[in-house]
Structure 1
């Protein structure tokens, strides 16, 4: 799977959305998923833009609801993040139970679990930055509920390789699988993997009946754990031509909106803060993908350094940025992101959020 970075290709991908096929096949390896998540996560497009496109297709609501609901999950995770802030790095609802390690199985990192579909998916992740959402649940279940690793380090490992890495969607989904943000842990056996990922493998540590997960011992192949290492090289800092008294838009890893003030004569800066990437490591493919997306924004300049350093050159009075939990330390004018609905704030479950959201957007 490839993820082009020119805006025309992304618009083409939006035009190819097939809501009915998505609803019927999204959990399967080759299902009709949209492949738009990297662009949503990087703020290149919004869930609202996709919702408006789906609405324009004039397909009955009941045939589009599953896709719209999955988009709403993204807004829901963001609202949890806005409310809970740094707490998303901790067990939110209750402690993950039966934890034996705060690392990640070496077999996962090296794609040597012995489960062919899983190992192939991890190698695809390394090669392309993509992993199917259903497979992410399998991988998380293996790490948290079979290897009994605490979710945080494995979640950081996956986030670091995903082009669509989003701290809220990623970390809170891992908590959901691990039972730290849900009422029970998620498990899947080999039969389930075979069904959805076109395999017929038997004899693996997951080739068991679901009743056996109640007293599941860590398989030997998952026993060795490691702390993953992520390498990242920032681009070379070019000489910038910054005007201190000109209105300046700040873009970052979570906001690369190519149509933001597109007709305005403003200064545009893509801010790469080393402290953010040190706390939330990503691989080279991920940062390079984000930088390539910025090439759709005419005149944008890359600033490598902390916001405080940029602020020394440009007054806060001239700075505009989009609200996001990653930039609560920015100074200047904060603008709202585009949301699917006006439903805001923390909801203890997705379906409480969805009930309100659906009432507003349903056609």
Structure 2
């Protein structure tokens, strides 16, 4: 799947998307998924915009419930990030059970897990920057619950390579699989993997009934742990040229909406903070994708440095990534901006949200 970086092509992708096909086939790796996640993660488009474009085509909650529910998962994760901050990078509800290893299995980095459907996609992951959500879950289940690794370092490795890397969606999805953000561990057996990937492999270390998987010993080839190399290459930038007397609009790699104060006179700066990327590095391919998306914003300049060092009070869209910014903070786009409180589970959130949407 290609990911174009011009806004018209992304709108066209939304308008051609079939939510009913998605509902029927989304769990299959060849299913009718939207491929909108890289744009949603970067804030290039947002969830309310997508839902509105569906409604403009006559697609409401009844026809598009499964897809809108998936969008709501993203909103739930972002909401949790707003509320918990950096606590999302720790075991958020329960300590992870049964940890025997840290790091990441060498077999994952070498595409030699011996699960053919996983290895085929792992071999091209760094190049493509994308994995179907079911493959991500299969990996998390295998690494955390079969091979008994703590979830954090594998999650950081996956985030590094993903074009759609969203810190909240990524970390909390790993925690959901590992049982630290849910009530039980997630397992996937070989039968399930065969069904949704089209493979026909048998006799693997996952080829057991679900009730038998937790009692299996860790395969030798998954016990060898390594630390993934996640090198960050800073973007090449030029000195900023700012015009006095007009506002300055601030963007981040999570808030790259080209329609933000569109058409208004102002300086426009994409702020990429070294302190952030020191903790959460991204692959060069992802940075290139982000910079290409930014080109849709006329006159935008790229600044690699700390926001505080700019010594200005910009105008920016609220997001957990810029919680420390000083300036004019505008509301984060939400399906239900008036929905208050914390929710213990996604479905407690969805039950209230869906009533508002309907």
For normalisation by structure 2, the TM-score amounts to: 0.97
Partner of 1:131: 131
Q: CA deviation at 1:201?
A: 0.7
Partner of 2:50: 50
Check the 8 A contact 2:77/2:172 in 1, yes or no: yes
State the SS of the aligned residue for 2:321. Answer: helix
Q: State the aligned residue count.
A: 357
Check the 8 A contact 1:321/1:332 in 2, yes or no: yes
Partner of 1:17: 17
Alignment partners' CA distance in 2, 1:134 and 1:105: 19
Partner of 2:335: 340
State the SS of the aligned residue for 1:302. Answer: strand
Partner of 1:226: 226
Does residue 88 (structure 1) correspond to residue 83 (structure 2)? The answer is: no
Alignment partners' CA distance in 2, 1:216 and 1:321: 51
Alignment partners' CA distance in 2, 1:324 and 1:61: 26
Pairing of 1:157-306 with structure 2 (within 5 A): 157-306=157-306
Q: String of CA shifts for 1:160-180, please: whole Å, max 9, x gaps.
A: 111110011110010000000
Does residue 108 (structure 1) correspond to residue 104 (structure 2)? The answer is: no
Alignment partners' CA distance in 2, 1:77 and 1:35: 19
Alignment partners' CA distance in 1, 2:267 and 2:61: 42
Partner of 1:143: 143
**Pair 1:296–1:60, CA change in 2 (3 A):** closer
**Pair 1:2–1:326, CA change in 2 (3 A):** same
Q: String of CA shifts for 1:47-106, please: whole Å, max 9, x gaps.
A: 001111122222463331111101100000011111111110111111000001121111
Partner of 1:360: 356
Partner of 1:98: 98
Alignment partners' CA distance in 2, 1:295 and 1:60: 32
Partner of 1:323: 318
CA RMSD of aligned residues (A): 1.2
Q: CA deviation at 1:151?
A: 0.5
Task: Name stretches of at least 5 consecutive residues in structure 2 with no aligned partner.
Answer: none
Alignment partners' CA distance in 2, 1:186 and 1:13: 32
Q: CA deviation at 1:192?
A: 0.5
Alignment partners' CA distance in 2, 1:325 and 1:130: 24
Alignment partners' CA distance in 2, 1:52 and 1:134: 27
Q: String of CA shifts for 1:153-202, please: whole Å, max 9, x gaps.
A: 11111111111100111100100000001110000111100000010011
Q: CA deviation at 1:245?
A: 4.2
For normalisation by structure 1, the TM-score amounts to: 0.96
Q: String of CA shifts for 1:91-133, please: whole Å, max 9, x gaps.
A: 1111000001121111112211011110112223211111001
